[in-house]
């Protein structure tokens, strides 16, 4: 006979004085004749919960029932403390919380009590069930931790920081493009894309570049078959957008461009450009200056200075080259700016009327400006990089710094 069974039988055999206010209903249900057997648990444990409530023919005071529940609580705690494995914990759970366990037998027998007893005993039984469930989970967690890392506290210094796992991130050029797109998006510019393999028409003809212009020569452009070429500028996207849409237009076109330049610290045969375009009624050069000044201060810092120098581009008139105060020496003069204090960053100008004619716009009604900047050049100036090849050599010692 188990200790728990002996304990309950001893309590039940004690004679209690008759208490007329505690009347057990005469229709006492019979306990199960053949309770389910559990490995390591004697079958009389399943009779405990039943007899705990309905007792025998004797009537018991509520304090006696409460005392039995407290003793049952202590017994469950002791059983869990003695458990040496997850299997033994499961046996304890089945014994107390199983479908035919002690607690469920108690709950099933509560309707047999007088109404004034049901509330007290019911609350105690439910509280006991919650407590035992909590203890079981805590005990299980202890075994899970011990099984996962046996003797972890002795084997390892758990106060040390964990191992750093390397993770990937965007290429510095991609980061630069994303930042530039974010700046122009705040100004209401759309992001447009176009094909890298283009027709001569979009790369030259529609941009007012004459047939004898040096940029059309094969030493300045990668030609393919059937008048196809690798675009040498993302201005091609501007033409495509203007042919598809009517003003007002406000857009930038980021992307790769290709030129057969000799690769050195300042040149590459493939690099990235961002071309910008704004077309609407009443657009002026002052609008262009405001947009570019806003961009330069947002990207390089509020203390940056900008200047416009007259220049010439076939697709803009008037045209200008835009310089900023050197971000390396802050205008004091260094090898990067050739000790001038200024660095060229982009070209810009008002859209030539011939370009509007090529796309079917009325140059008398609409005006616009365009600009183009090199992404690698901007990144080099901002981060103090002196060799464009570093962006494309896949040297993780360099790339991991961004």
Q: Could you give the percent of the chain with pLDDT greater than 90?
A: 40
Q: What is the pLDDT of residue 149?
A: 53
Confidence of residue 15 (pLDDT cuts 50, 70, 90): very low
Q: Is the pLDDT of residue 222 over 70?
A: yes
Q: Nearest to residue 6, comparing CAs of 38, 39, 51? A: 51
Confidence of residue 46 (pLDDT cuts 50, 70, 90): very low
Rounded distance between C-alpha atoms, residue 400 and residue 395, angstroms: 9
Residues 209-219: what's their mean pLDDT?
Answer: 88
Rounded distance between C-alpha atoms, residue 350 and residue 368, angstroms: 6
Are 375 and 272 in contact by the 8 Å Cβ rule? The answer is: yes
Q: Which of 12-16, 81-85, 105-109, 394-398 has the lowest mean pLDDT?
A: 12-16
Q: Is the pLDDT of residue 178 over 70?
A: yes
Q: Which of 49-53, 250-254, 274-278 has the lowest mean pLDDT?
A: 49-53
Torsion of CA 226, 232, 235, 239, to 10 degrees: 0
Q: What is the pLDDT of residue 54?
A: 46
Residue pLDDT, tens place only, 55-104: 433 444 456 667 777 888 888 888 888 887 888 888 888 888 888 788 87
Q: What is the pLDDT of residue 66?
A: 72
Q: Which of 55-59, 61-65, 211-215, 291-295 has the lowest mean pLDDT?
A: 55-59
Q: Nearest to residue 186, comparing CAs of 115, 279, 291? A: 291
Q: What is the pLDDT of residue 148?
A: 53
Measure the N-to-C terminal CA separation of the chain; round to a whole number of Å: 74
**Rg of the chain (C-alpha set):** 43
Give all domains of the chain, ordered by start, each with its CATH number: 3-155 (no CATH), 172-399 (3.30.930.10)
Q: What is the pLDDT of residue 74?
A: 84
* Rounded alpha-carbon distances, angstroms, from residue 390 to 76, 188, 326, 336: 70, 33, 21, 17
């Amino acid at each position: 006979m188990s200790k728990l069974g002996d304990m309950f039988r001893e309590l039940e055999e004690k004679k209690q004085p008759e208490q007329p206010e505690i009347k057990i209903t005469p229709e006492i249900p019979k306990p199960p004749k053949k309770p389910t057997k559990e490995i390591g648990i004697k079958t009389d444990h399943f009779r405990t919960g039943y007899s705990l409530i309905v007792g025998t023919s004797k009537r018991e005071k509520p304090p006696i029932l409460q005392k039995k529940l407290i003793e049952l609580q202590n017994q469950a705690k002791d059983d869990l403390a003695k458990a040496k494995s997850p299997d033994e914990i499961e046996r304890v759970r089945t014994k107390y919380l199983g479908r035919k366990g002690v607690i469920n037998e108690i709950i099933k027998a509560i309707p047999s009590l007088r109404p004034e007893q049901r509330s007290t005993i019911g609350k105690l039984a439910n509280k006991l069930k919650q407590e035992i469930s909590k203890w079981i989970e805590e005990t299980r967690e202890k075994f899970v931790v011990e099984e996962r890392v046996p003797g972890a506290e002795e084997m390892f210094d758990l106060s040390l920081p964990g191992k750093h796992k390397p993770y990937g991130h965007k290429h510095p050029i991609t980061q630069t493009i994303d930042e530039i797109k974010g700046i122009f998006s705040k100004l209401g510019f759309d992001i447009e894309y176009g094909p890298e393999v283009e027709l001569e028409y979009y790369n030259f003809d529609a941009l007012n570049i004459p047939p004898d212009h040096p940029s059309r020569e094969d030493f300045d452009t990668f030609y393919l078959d059937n008048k196809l070429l690798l675009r040498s500028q993302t201005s091609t996207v501007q033409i495509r957008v203007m042919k598809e849409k009517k003003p007002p237009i406000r857009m930038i076109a980021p992307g790769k461009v290709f030129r057969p330049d000799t690769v050195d610290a300042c040149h590459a045969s493939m690099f990235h450009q961002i071309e910008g375009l704004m077309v609407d009624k009443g657009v002026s050069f002052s609008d262009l200056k405001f947009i570019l000044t806003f961009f330069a201060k947002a990207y390089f810092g509020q203390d940056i200075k900008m200047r416009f120098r007259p220049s010439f581009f076939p697709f803009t008139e008037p045209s200008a080259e835009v310089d900023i105060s050197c971000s390396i020496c802050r205008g004091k003069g260094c090898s990067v700016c050739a000790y001038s204090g200024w660095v060229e960053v982009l070209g810009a100008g008002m859209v030539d009327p011939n370009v509007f004619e090529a796309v079917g716009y009325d140059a008398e009604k609409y005006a616009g400006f365009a600009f183009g900047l090199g992404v690698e050049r901007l990144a080099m100036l901002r981060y103090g990089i002196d060799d464009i090849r570093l962006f494309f050599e896949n040297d993780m010692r360099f790339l991991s710094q961004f």
